[in-house]
Structure 1
Amino acid sequence: MSAPTDPRAVGPRIRMMLPELSAFEARIVDYLLRSELDERLPLKQVADRAGVSEAMVVKTAKKLGFDGFRELRAALAEYKRLPAVDLHREVTPEDTAQTIVQKVFRTAIQALEETLAILDIAAFEKAADLIHAARQRDFYGLGGSAQIARDVAHKFLRIGIRAAVFDDTHMMAMSANLLGPGDLVVAFSHSGRTAGLVDAVQLAKANGAAVIAISNYDSSPLATLADVVLCSTAQGSPLTGENAAARIAQLNIMDAVFVAVAQRGYARAEENLARTMAAVQGKRR
C-alpha cells in the first residue's frame, strides 16, 4: 500500500491494514490513532508506550506505505486536525440521551466523509457496468450484511433490475455452482473473512462469474477474489463496533451505484420505476 495523498484517507487506509498487522505492529498503530499527536511526537515515546523497539516503529510505518516514522507522524497529525475526525467520540455510561444521539450521528457522518475520501471511482464505474450488463445477479450476505443485500436488491427491483438475495451458506453454494460467464455475484461482508461466504464466492469465480465485493478491508480474502472492491470505512467503538457506521457507508455506496446503473438505461429505469410505484400505490391507506 502506498501512502494516501488525501489527508481524509490517512486514518481509513491505516485502519484497513489492521488485519494484516502483527500484534506488536497493531499495538503501535492503536497508540498512534488514539493519542494526541503532532509533528513533535518523539519516536522513542511511541516505542516506549507501545512496548516495542524504535526499529519496529519505523518498520511498521513502512509497512503502512510511508517512507518512515516522520512521514507517518506528519500524515497522522494532518489527519487528526481535520474537523470530521473530531466527530468520533466513545459512548460512556455517563452520557445523556442528547449526547448519545450526537455521538452516534457524528460517527456516521465521519464514516461517510472518510468512505467518500477512499472511494475508487474507477472501481465504482466498473461495478455499475457489471450490474447493468449482468445476465443473473446474485447478492450474498450473512447477518447484518444480509440486510444491506436485501435493501440494495429492493432498490434495483424498483427500476426493473432483478437480483436474488442469499443469506445462507448452503444456498450461496448452490447459487454459486449455477453461475457462469455473464453472471455476477455482489458479496457484502464487513470483514471480508466470513468462511462460508468466501467459499461460495470462490466457487462462483471458478465458474466464470464476475464478483463485486463490498467490504471494509481491501486486502481481505473476499477482496482478493473480487473483480471490483468497493470499500467502506468506519471507526469502531466498544459498544457498537465498526459495523453500525460501516453499514450506513455501504448503503450510501450502493445508493450511488444504483443511480449510476439507472443512468445507463435512464428511459427504461424511469418507465420501470413508474410501473413498480403504481403496483404498490393501492396498498397504502
Structure 2
Amino acid sequence: MAKDLFTEIRVKYNTLSKNQKIVANYILENRDKCVRMTLNELGRECNLSETTIIRFINKLDYKSYQSFRLDMAQDLSRHDAADSPKGSEYQEIKSGDSAEEVKQKVISIASSAITDINNLIPVETVTEAAKLIESARKIMFFGAGGSGVVAMDVYHKFLRSGKNVIHEGNSHIALIHASQLTKDDLLILISHEGESKEVLECCRLAQEGKAKVLGITSYMNSDLAKMADLCIFSSTNDSAYYTEAMVSRLVQLVIMDMLFIIVNAREDDKALMAIEAANRATREMKVHNGYEEEA
C-alpha cells in the first residue's frame, strides 16, 4: 500500500509536539501553497525555526526537506488525479463558521479519518484480530468514557451472532470479569487515549489469567498500545470544536464492523442462524408491544 503523506501527518498528529502540530495544521490547511515553499518560507509562515520544521519531518521518517516536499507534490497530484471532491481536504473548524461551513468541515474531517483506515491498518493486523475473535471461548468488551458506547454496540452485534460475549459498563464489575478470564478468552479494550486506569487495570488482570488482549486506541505511544497483545489504531483529527475523540469513535465503529463482518462471513450458516433467532426474539417483542410492522 502506497504511503500517503497527508494521511501520515493525521495518523501521527497526537505524537507531535505543540510547535510540530502548528506545522502539521498549516500543511494540512495549505497543501497547494506548501508544495511550492522552501524550508525557510515554511518556517516563516508558521513563525517557527527551520530546526522545528526539520524535527517535524523527521517525526514523519523523512531525512531531508527535499524528499518530504517531493512526496507532498506527488500525493497532491495523486489526489487531484482522483478528482477528490471540493472540501475533501483537511479544514479546521473555526469560531464564526456558518452552519454550511461547519456541515462541510465535519463531513470532511469524518470522511478523512475513515479513509485513513486504509493506510493506518495493515490487512495483516485485521486478519490477526479476526483470528483472535474466532478462536476465543469467551470475549469481553470494555470501553472507557465515550468509547463505552462503541463497546456496547459491538457487544450487541456479536451477541446477536451467537458469540459467547460479555460487556459491563460498571468499571468495578468489569474488573471482576477481567480477573476471571483465562487463556482461552479474549478481552477487547476500546479507549481513545489508551490511558484510562480502568482500561489498563482490566488489561493487567486479564493478562494475569493468560487471556489475550486486543486494544483499539488512537495513541500509538499509549500504555494500552504497549500492554495489549495486539493493537489497532484509530486515526484522529484534532479540532477545537470537533474533538479527535468524536472522530475516533466513528473510526472505532468502522474497525469493529470490519472485524464483525469478517468473522461472521467465515462462520456463515452458524452466524446467520443465530442472527435470525435474535431477529425473531426482538420481532416478537415488538409485536407484543403493538409495534408490528405492516406487511
User: What range is the shorter-chain TM-score in?
Assistant: 0.7 to 0.9
Match of 1:72 in 2: 68
Match of 2:28 in 1: 33
Mapped contact 2:26–2:46 kept (Cα < 8 A) = yes
Tell me: CA distance 1:217–1:71, structure 2 relative to 1, closer, same or farther (3 Å). farther
The TM-score, its normalising length taken from structure 2, stands at 0.84
SS of the residue corresponding to residue 40 of structure 1 reads: coil
How far the C-alpha of 1:50 sits from its partner, in A, is 4.1
Tell me: CA distance 1:56–1:106, structure 2 relative to 1, closer, same or farther (3 Å). closer
Match of 1:152 in 2: 154
- Aligned AA (1:46): L
Q: Tell whether 2:16 aligns with 1:5.
A: no
How far the C-alpha of 1:108 sits from its partner, in A, is 2.1
The TM-score, its normalising length taken from structure 1, stands at 0.86
- Aligned AA (1:240): Y
Deviation digits for residues 24-72 of structure 1 (CA, Å, limit 9, x no counterpart): 4444334333434443311112334445442342233223212222222
User: What is the rounded CA distance, in whole Å, between the counterparts of 2:67 and 2:92 in structure 1?
Assistant: 28
- Aligned AA (1:185): L
Match of 1:193 in 2: 195
Tell me: CA distance 1:92–1:44, structure 2 relative to 1, closer, same or farther (3 Å). closer
- Aligned AA (1:205): Q
Deviation digits for residues 227-255 of structure 1 (CA, Å, limit 9, x no counterpart): 22222213222112112232222211111
Aligned match for 2:131, one of 129, 132, 143: 129
Tell me: CA distance 1:280–1:232, structure 2 relative to 1, closer, same or farther (3 Å). same
User: What is the rounded CA distance, in whole Å, between the counterparts of 2:26 and 2:65 in structure 1?
Assistant: 14
User: What is the rounded CA distance, in whole Å, between the counterparts of 2:130 and 2:190 in structure 1?
Assistant: 16
Q: CA RMSD in A?
A: 2.5
User: What is the rounded CA distance, in whole Å, between the counterparts of 1:64 and 1:51 in structure 2?
Assistant: 20
Aligned match for 1:282, one of 281, 284, 288: 284
User: What is the rounded CA distance, in whole Å, between the counterparts of 1:46 and 1:186 in structure 2?
Assistant: 43
Mapped contact 1:84–1:113 kept (Cα < 8 A) = no
User: What is the rounded CA distance, in whole Å, between the counterparts of 2:128 and 2:142 in structure 1?
Assistant: 19
Aligned match for 1:22, one of 12, 17, 21: 17
Tell me: CA distance 1:191–1:118, structure 2 relative to 1, closer, same or farther (3 Å). same
How far the C-alpha of 1:98 sits from its partner, in A, is 4.3
Q: What is the aligned residue count?
A: 280
SS of the residue corresponding to residue 140 of structure 1 reads: strand
Q: Which has more radius of gyration?
A: 2
Match of 1:166 in 2: 168
Aligned match for 1:54, one of 41, 50, 71: 50
SS of the residue corresponding to residue 172 of structure 1 reads: helix
Tell me: CA distance 1:6–1:17, structure 2 relative to 1, closer, same or farther (3 Å). closer
User: What is the rounded CA distance, in whole Å, between the counterparts of 2:101 and 2:43 in structure 1?
Assistant: 35
Where do 5+ consecutive residues of structure 2 fail to align? none
Deviates more, 1:168-177 or 1:273-282: 168-177
